[in-house]
């Protein structure tokens, strides 16, 4: 006699198993065989998936604000003597003014009369005897005649 058991596996699929009662073989006995069904699963490749990526370049025009400043330097020459120094840096609207000063050595010269020298010239003549040796050259010319 065969009995069937129907049950659900872990996935919820219905499975069935045939069972029968077995009695040890004796003379005149009919063996009763029981079949068992083993159900398993295996992974089967049904297809492949390739995943790849590619870089797509796109040219885009973007407006970017750029700030630019210009500086103008203007020199103004004064060359004047001042009593007190002006502030080193000062603002006049959008203009920054930097004063450049230098120290100058001032020497004052004045004339002062210390003394006078009065010089008078007088002439006098005196005679004094002196002994001196004088040298003088004389020329002597002599001729000799040969006949």
pLDDT in tens, 87-119: 888 888 888 999 888 888 888 888 887 888 877
Say if 66 falls within a structural domain: no
The answer to whether residue 129 is domain-embedded is: no
Residue 145 lies in a domain: no
52-88 confidence digits (pLDDT tens): 888 888 888 989 899 988 888 898 888 888 888 888 8
Is 33 a member of any domain?
yes
- Domain assignment present for residue 82? The answer is no
Total-model pTM: 0.33
The answer to whether residue 9 sits within a structural domain is: yes
Domain that holds residue 3: 1-39
- Rounded to the nearest integer, the mean pLDDT of the chain is 79
DSSP state of 85: P
In a domain, 25, yes or no: yes
- Residue 6 falls inside a structural domain: yes
Task: Tell me the C-alpha to C-alpha distance, in Å, between residue 125 and each of 7, 80, 119, 131, 132.
Answer: 174, 66, 20, 19, 20
Counted domains in the chain? 1
């Amino acid at each position: 006699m065969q009995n069937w058991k129907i049950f659900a596996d872990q996935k919820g699929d219905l499975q069935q198993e045939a069972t029968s009662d077995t009695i040890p073989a004796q003379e005149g006995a009919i063996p009763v065989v029981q079949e068992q069904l083993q159900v398993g699963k295996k992974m089967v490749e049904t297809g492949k998936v390739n995943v790849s990526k590619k870089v797509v370049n796109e040219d885009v025009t973007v407006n970017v604000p750029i700030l630019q400043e210009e500086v103008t330097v203007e020199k103004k020459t004064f060359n004047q003597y001042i009593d007190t120094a002006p502030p080193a840096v000062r603002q006049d609207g959008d203009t920054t003014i930097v004063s450049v000063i230098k120290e100058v050595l001032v020497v004052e010269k004045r004339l002062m009369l210390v003394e006078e020298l009065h010089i008078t010239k007088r002439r006098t003549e005196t005679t004094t005897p002196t002994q001196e040796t004088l040298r003088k050259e004389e020329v002597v010319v002599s001729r000799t005649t040969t006949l």
